[in-house]
Amino acid sequence: MNGVQYLTEIKVRGYHADFYGHVNNARYLEFFEEDRWAQLESKIDLKRWAAQGIIFLVVNINVNYRLAVPVGETLLVTTDVEKIGKRSVVLQQKILLKESRKVAADALITFVIADKSGRAVSMEGEMLQQIEKLRQIEPV
């Protein structure tokens, strides 16, 4: 993970926790989403895309919960491109304990880009170039 720019750092608060004092499984999805948005906003003009009626739709999420995370822990979230297809993109996301860099959870998230009708569009030309920017790792 050296050289990765961490756009999302999250301090685990009491409202993130379940009955057992650990991060609730549904909160991990919010943490992943927070970093996806941070990554997209840092590399793609989302306002321009929205004005054109282009949206991102998550169509599949597979999460592995690796460690129980207690209240008070600070987390780092990463997003990397696993695969870019003609109509979908698979992202690999990780939630790390800030101090130890141990992986608390990881996920594969598949999304499509849809038009105003909600149909997935083929990614090509300028759109594909914009998506390719997600592959670029920026220095810390």
Alpha-carbon span 30 to 97, nearest angstrom = 16
Q: Which residues contact 107 (CB under 8 A, 6 or more apart)?
A: 28, 32, 61, 62, 63, 64, 92, 93, 94
The reply to whether 18 belongs to the active site is yes
CB of 56 closer than 8 Å to CB of 113? yes
N residues, the chain:
140
Of 18, 45, 80, 106, the catalytic one is: 18
- 47-70 burial by CB neighbour count: b if 16+ within 10 A, else e? eebeeeebebeeeebebeeebebe
- Find, among 58, 119, 62, the residue nearest to 92 by Cα: 62
Active site residues: 18
